[in-house]
Structure 1
Amino acid sequence: MEGVGSPLVAGKERTGGKARGIARRATLSDVAAEAGVSTAVVSYVLNGGPRNVSETTRIAVEQAMEKLNYRRNPVASALTAGRSNLVGLLVPDQSNPFFAELAGEFEREGRARGYLTMLGNTSHDASIELDYVRALADWRVRAVFVASVNEHEFVVDGCPIIYVHSAPAKSRLTAALFDDFGGGITATRHLIAHGYEDIHCLAGPSDFGPFGHRRRGWEAAMSEAGLSTKGRVHYVAASRLEAARQIRDLMMGDRCPRAIFSTSDEQALSVLRAAAEAGKSIPGDVALVGFDGIAEALQGRPRITTIALPLRRLAVEVFNAIEDCGSTDRRHEPLQGQLTIGETCGCQVA
């Protein structure tokens, strides 16, 4: 098994017909030559077997590795061991603050457990998602965490998949999700408790995954209270600027909502922008509750009332689930978000 290290071993390169000395990375053979042993013995030291080596030989090999600054090739190690210390994380759009924060939590938890996280952006494209999974499978990653945009489950041989945040409805693969439906109910009930009746819902560009579950939670709470949902669902763009334009048009129309449940904080931030452009005050003219709990929503001005999701707990749960990869019926209990009161719903806050 070969390895790579710092460029300490001399080699030759021809430039313009002349040979000049260059440095190349140390290999397993270089370590063996330096220590005066076979490459097999170096491999035994690196892998702790399968054959024993004497203490004197082990020290000689380790000193040679240190001298040459040798380090193992992770791909070669993965091919030998059958699995690497790499994990993949696929998100629809890392520029979205929610997915950026989710990726940060996964990277921190992975490092604490000895894993390195490779991040891929699928651009809301199911075919790109599948291409990434296939490529990561070739790297023998320990698992791929997928915030899926695909309504249909796919399986790639030799590549454990764990769905996070969103998953195909009928998937039987391991999945760690949030209680989006329950969160939608909680957010809407909070607005109803303020006495608002004309409560509109800002849904995502499609009804797939969390957006759809949250919209259905709003619908259930409205029905429970005997309030109409007719004409009060608005499917807006994922882009904050485009969503703000659509919401501004709504606010400047004949039926400006008295309250809005936004199925993401990205959209809630678009509401703030649109309200400023339309000359509406929040919450004086339009009350607002978001969903996700991103830092910009919780710490901005005004602070948005939102359902804050436990991203840290999600990261811990999915890394715990790595050992269950490939098993069926591994849908974990949905993680509950917390209603976090800000300045946009009408509550009196300090």
Structure 2
Amino acid sequence: MTVLDLSDPRPTLADVARAAGVSSATASRVLNGFPQVRAETRRQVEQAVRSLGYVRHRAARAAEGRRTGTVAVVLCEDGLRLFSDPFFGRVMSGVDRTFTPAGVQVVVLMMQVGAEAATLRYLGGGHVDGALFVSTHTRCTTALSRADFPVVSVGRPMVPDPARYTYVDVDNRGGAEAAVRHLQAAGRRRIATVAGPKDMAPGRDRLAGYAAAISGSGLVDPGLVAHGDFGQASGDHAMRRLLDRRPDLDAVFVASDVMAVGVLRALRRTGRRVPDDVAVVGFDNAPIARSTDPRLTTVSQPVEDLGARSARELLAVIDGTAGQPRHVVLGTTLVVRESA
């Protein structure tokens, strides 16, 4: 087996797909000999392979099209986040809902910083039929773009050409905008946000939804914006920074419920009453949102359905029945409780 290194200058499957004007999944189906491919598409891919000098890295069993009955779920987070954030457990519940009845086994891989090449070597070695990439930070979507096997991204991938990949996302921007408009309708005028990570699509999209509701033009007061990492401690720290800058703020939209727990803690420590002094809206409708004091108003996203639909899309890519890359966006709903 050839070792696949992210710094390897040799052409990749993504390069072949780009040269042929097709998706990586379609290029993979051509190279795997799937019959459900148009003759012209097959010709374009084969021409791109010849012109680029592309050599496949996958093991012989996978190259022959034989199935392993196993897929990988690649989690681009460290162990602490994996076990402290309920999002991942809920995604896995949905994934299991699809794969178990289909008789598919699941291998869970944690792609930590510096482990991208080793993970790709395993995935490309014929051990699995495909992979779901979850919580796709920029560093992980770089690895995704080098993948020489069927992949689906749980969430819009942070790559220059996301349309080339099948992904299942939620309406992060629309949900965030609805949350802020709810605060505005309640008479709040100095609305801050604790945004998510800048290197993840949900972080960017929820911030964009906040900005759209605040100004319409996307221009916002930077003093009303602080970033966290979706973890509880980061919500606490971000809220304290916001209060230092804008002590008269009267509402905050928080890009995750786990961060909102930290926000509520910071507000209590500074003597602010929720919602009397500062209203708080989170995002996720995680189980913890129903046990905070006060109970958390939040944007509900269908996390289990996100996992289940992503798994179905991966099975379609593996089977060669998916056609062109599909981009599925699931809706969100505002759940109003006592915090706002």
Please name the residue that 2:124 is paired with.
137
Decide whether aligned partners of structure 1 residues 316 and 107 sit closer, same or farther in structure 2, where only a CA change above 3 A counts.
closer
Measured in 2, the distance between the counterparts of 1:144 and 1:209 equals 19
Matches within 5 A, 1:16-165: 82-91=66-75, 92=77, 93-95=81-83, 96-123=85-112, 125=113, 127-129=114-116, 131-147=118-134, 148-150=136-138, 152=142, 153-157=144-148, 159-165=149-155
Which 5+ residue runs of structure 1 have no aligned equivalent?
1-74, 346-350
Q: CA deviation at 1:149?
A: 1.2
**Where does 1:1-350 land on structure 2 (aligned, <5 Å)?**
82-91=66-75, 92=77, 93-95=81-83, 96-123=85-112, 125=113, 127-129=114-116, 131-147=118-134, 148-150=136-138, 152=142, 153-157=144-148, 159-169=149-159, 170-171=161-162, 172-224=164-216, 229-251=221-243, 255-321=247-313, 322-325=315-318, 329-345=324-340
Mapped contact 1:144–1:162 kept (Cα < 8 A): yes
* Residue 78 of structure 1: how far off its partner (Å): 7.6
The equivalent of 1:13 in structure 2 is none
* RMSD of equivalent CA atoms: 2.9
Deviation string 1:131-150 (CA, Å, 9 cap, x unpaired) is 32431232431221102212
**Alpha-carbon contact 2:93-2:307 (below 8 Å) kept:** no
The C-alpha deviation readout for 1:88-133, integer Å capped at 9, x for no partner, is 112224122212221232123321221222222234x3x5345324
Largest Rg, 1 or 2: 1
Q: Report the Cα distance in structure 2 between the residues aligned to 1:226 and 1:281, rounded to whole angstroms.
A: 30
Partner in structure 2 of residue 10 of structure 1: none
Deviation at 1:298, TM superposition (A): 3.4
Any stretches of 5+ residues in structure 2 without a counterpart?
1-58
**Aligned AA for 1:193?**
A
Q: Which amino acid aligns with 1:163?
A: S
In 1: Cα distance, 2:73 partner to 2:218 partner? 42
CA distances 1:138-167 after superposition (whole Å, capped 9, x unpaired) = 24312211022125451322x211001241
Note the C-alpha offset of 1:287.
Answer: 0.6
Are the equivalent residues in 2 in contact too, given 1:149–1:166 (CA < 8 A)? no
CA distance in 2, matches of 1:155, 1:76: 19
SS of the equivalent of 1:90 reads strand
Percent same amino acid among aligned pairs?
A: 28
The answer to which structure has the higher strand fraction is: 1
Aligned residues: 268
Partners of 2:60 and 2:126 within 8 A in 1: no
Change (3 A) 1:300 1:246: closer
Tell me which of the two structures has the higher relative contact order, counting C-alpha pairs closer than 8 angstroms and 6 or more residues apart: 2
**How far does the alpha carbon of each residue in 1:54-105 deviate from its partner, in whole angstroms, 9 at most, with x for none?**
xxxxxxxxxxxxxxxxxxxxx9998987222211112224122212221232
TM, length-normalised to structure 2: 0.70
Please tell me whether the aligned partners of residues 250 and 256 of structure 1 are also in contact (alpha carbons under 8 angstroms). no
In structure 2, do the counterparts of structure 1 residues 256 and 87 end up closer, same or farther at CA, with 3 Å as the change threshold?
farther
Local SS of the residue matching 2:337: coil
> Quick one: distance in 2 between partners of 1:131 and 1:287?
46
User: Using the alignment, how far apart are the partners of 2:222 and 2:242 within structure 1?
Assistant: 15
Q: Which has the higher helix share?
A: 2
Matches of 1:179 and 1:128 in 2, distance apart? 30
Is the partner of 2:115 in helix, strand or coil?
Answer: helix
Change (3 A) 1:76 1:343: farther
Q: Which amino acid aligns with 1:179?
A: D
